Amino acid sequence: MSTAIYGVTALRALEARAASQGIDLMARAGQAAADWVAARYPVGARILLAAGPGNNGGDALVTAQRLAAAGYQAQVLLPQPPQTAAAQRALADWQACGGEVLAVLPAGSTRPDLLVDGLFGIGADRPFNDAWRTLIAQLNALAAPVLALDTPTGLDAWRGVARNAVLRADATLTFLSHKPGLLTGDGPDLAGDVFLQTLNHPGWGDDTPEGEVYQPSALTALIRPRNSHKGSYGTVGIVGGCEGMLGAALLAGRAALAGGAGKVRLALLDPRLPVDPQSPALMMHAAKGLPDCEVLALGPGMGQDAAALTLLKAAIADARPLLLDADALNLLARESALQTRLAARRAPTIITPHPAEAARLLSTDGAAIQADRIRSARALASRLNAVTVLKGAGTLIATPGGDYLINTSGGPALASAGQGDVLSGLIAALLAQHLSPLAAAALGVHVHGLAGDTYTRDRGGPIGLTADLTASMLSDELNRLVRHAPR
């Protein structure tokens, strides 16, 4: 199954190329949607299809025709006449086979077995007027299961931002290529389960994808020969743990051990705890300088005082791979000269901001970051010359060259204190095991998300997952992936 994400220009070029070759993508989309319904609902089920004035509405009309032919009770709601030639032909075909249309949703309409949303798809590019908002509210009030065609009405397919009204979907059947807005920001809550149907299209020509839905990779690099030792898997040095925030450094260290690092050293700004009773393998000492290690990770519980700033400056000037999180990013945001030095580093750098930290680095606010998460992640990666992990729903991993990955594992189980520290330690451990910065960041994000998914499945919900429990689950998730990786 394709994981590539193409932009709107490439999609329009593909549609034009299909039309020039006589390929009817609307017919294929309608058949694909009808097949999706037939695989899940019995013949005779009542299906209400809401069709808009554009080609998304044409897809819904073709779906209605195919479902009616297969014995389903298909009813079409068409608030406005079709405005494209293809959608007009689809309406004529629907009416030619005896199909009728409703201009309004009748008062007291009963709940259908399924509502198919073909109102706007990716075509909505502005807020809805009162009439459309009222209709969307009426359709939501039916409380029926919803299948969205291509994109739920009201969800920005590219940015993952909800407009002023959204028809919430339980599932989305998207066509030709993944749409990033379904997978990040508001998308995961509004699109439901996402299914891709490429419609056997004629190919992307010279267009290249702008991003990709992440699938676990680089796993063979983690297969361990029997003839190995702790030095084979690298030493991670974690700098952090000031007074009152020692737990953050401990969590990162425990995660690094669970993630497979051969050794983990903690350089602590508050060195009063000489040993971690839960993970005595952690080597702990005062942060009088940078630790002896192959990979540096700065930030978990580091604080923002002069001592922390001195350590950050030393790390940026260092030639070892570097991961920056939490207070290291907050310090970086205050020091433009340090940002310039970071961008000039020749050694690999990974940063792992949440939206508020990203906003400080870009001199904006969290709302602006969330309004265009992909652009924000790319901007940070380019400006700081660092692989950037923008955390949140549909975490983004962006490279300085502009490519990006969207991770689809994880969810609200990970919305608890310390989870970012766990993620930092895990990514640093993978980097120490010789994965590339992009591979380490993406796999770390994915495995961290899998731990949240496993907890949610096993406990029947996402409530109560603590960061220390997540850290203890990482090795199980990694081993499971590696065990099933193609050799």
Q: pLDDT value at position 173?
A: 98
78, 46 contact by CB (below 8 A) = no
CB atoms near residue 382 (< 10 Å): 16
Is the distance from CB of 422 to CB of 448 less than 8 angstroms?
A: yes
Q: In this structure, how many other beta carbons lie within 10 angstroms of the beta carbon of residue 40?
A: 12
CATH fold, domain 4-210, is Rossmann fold (3.40.50)
Shortest CA distance to 282 belongs to which of 238, 244, 312, 325? 238
Q: Which residues contact 426 (CB under 8 A, 6 or more apart)?
A: 255, 256, 258, 259, 444, 447, 448, 474
pLDDT at 218: 83
Give the model's pLDDT for residue 108: 85
Q: Residue 1 has what pLDDT? A: 62
Please work out, in degrees rounded to the nearest 5, the angle formed at the alpha carbon of residue 38 by the alpha carbons of 33 and 39: 100
Q: What is the DSSP string of 426-480?
A: HHHHHHHTT--HHHHHHHHHHHHHHHHHHHHHHHTSSTT--HHHHHHHHHHHHHH
CB 411 within 8 A of CB 242: no
Closest CA to 172 of 111, 115, 102: 115
Structural domain spans, the chain:
4-210, 219-483
CATH class of 219-483: alpha beta
Return d(Cα 146, Cα 109) in angstroms, integer. Answer: 16
Spatial separation of the C-alpha atoms in residues 141 and 137, rounded to whole Å: 6
Handedness of CA 37, 40, 46, 48 (dihedral sign): negative
Per-residue pLDDT of the chain (487 residues; tens, 9 = 90+): 689 999 999 999 999 999 999 999 999 999 999 999 999 999 999 999 999 999 999 999 999 999 999 999 999 999 999 999 999 999 999 999 999 999 999 888 899 999 999 999 897 778 999 999 999 999 999 999 999 999 999 999 999 999 999 999 999 999 999 999 999 999 999 999 999 999 999 889 889 999 999 999 889 999 999 999 999 999 999 999 999 999 999 999 999 999 999 999 999 999 999 999 999 999 999 999 999 999 999 999 999 999 999 999 999 999 999 999 999 999 999 999 999 999 999 999 999 999 999 999 999 999 999 999 999 999 999 999 999 999 999 999 999 999 999 999 999 999 999 999 999 999 999 999 999 999 999 999 999 999 999 999 999 999 999 999 999 999 999 999 999 887 7
Q: Tell me the sheet residues that pair with 264.
A: 236
Sheet strands (E) in 293-430: 295-298, 322-324, 349-351, 387-390, 396-398, 404-406
